[in-house]
Amino acid sequence: MIVQDVINHLEALAPLSYAEDFDNVGLLVGDKTAKLTGVLVTLDTLETVIDEAISKKCNLIVSFHPIIFKGLKKLTGKTYVERVVIKAIQHNIAIYSMHTALDNTFQGVNNMICNTLELENKQILIPQNGTIKKLTTYVPKNEADTLRTALFNAGAGHIGNYDNCSFNVEGTAHLRVTMHRLQQLAIKEKPIPRLKPKLP
C-alpha cells in the first residue's frame, strides 16, 4: 500500500471539490507514491505531532486543519509552520489536510456535531456547489431493484435527511441507426475479394 491508496479513501469520503475556496486541502507535503508505513490522525500538525509520527514510524499524517494555509515564502525554521514542514520533509512524512472538505460532506464533521446534539430537521445552511451528483442510467425493469440496491450500498442516494433516494421512469426507447453507422457496418461486412492467381 502507498500513500495515494489512503488518499483515495479520504477523497471518496470528502472530495476536495467540497472544500471552500479559501481553504488549502489535500496533500500539502510529501510523496504520494511512497510506500505507507503508518498513518497518524490529528487535529493540527504541531511539532510534537511530527515527533510522534517519527517515533511511531508513521509516514502519513492526516490532519483536520492545514499546516500550510497561506503561501510559504521561506523555509528557514523561524516559525513553527516552517519547522513542521522542514522536519516532515527531512523524515519523508506526508501531510494531508481535510478541513472544509470534511466539513461540507454529508457525513462529515457538522453532521456528527448535529447528531451529538440530537438535532432534528437538519438542513444545509449554505449549500456547497458540486456536493450533489445526479446519476442517470437505463436498465431492464426486472434489474432495477438490483441496481438500486447496489448503488445505495455504495453510498448513493443521500440527499439531506434522506437516503435510498431514486427517481424511476418507465419508457419505450426509439432510435434510428445513423447513415454514418450504416456505412461503418457496410465497410466491416463487405467481403474481402479473393485474388485469383494468374496462370501463364
List residues forming the annotated binding site for a divalent metal cation: 65, 103
Place of cell 447528531: 115
Q: What separation, in Å, do the N-terminal and C-terminal C-alpha atoms of the chain show?
A: 70
Contact indicator for 96, 10 with CB cutoff of 8 Å: yes
Residues of 36-73 as b/e, b for ≥16 C-beta within 10 angstroms? eeebbebeebbeebbeebbeeebbbbbbbebbbeeeee
- Counting Cα atoms < 13 Å in the Cβ hemisphere of 165 gives 13
Separation between Cα atoms, residue 62 and residue 144, nearest integer Å = 39
H/E stretch holding 130:
none
Contact indicator for 71, 112 with CB cutoff of 8 Å: no
List residues forming the annotated binding site.
Answer: 65, 103
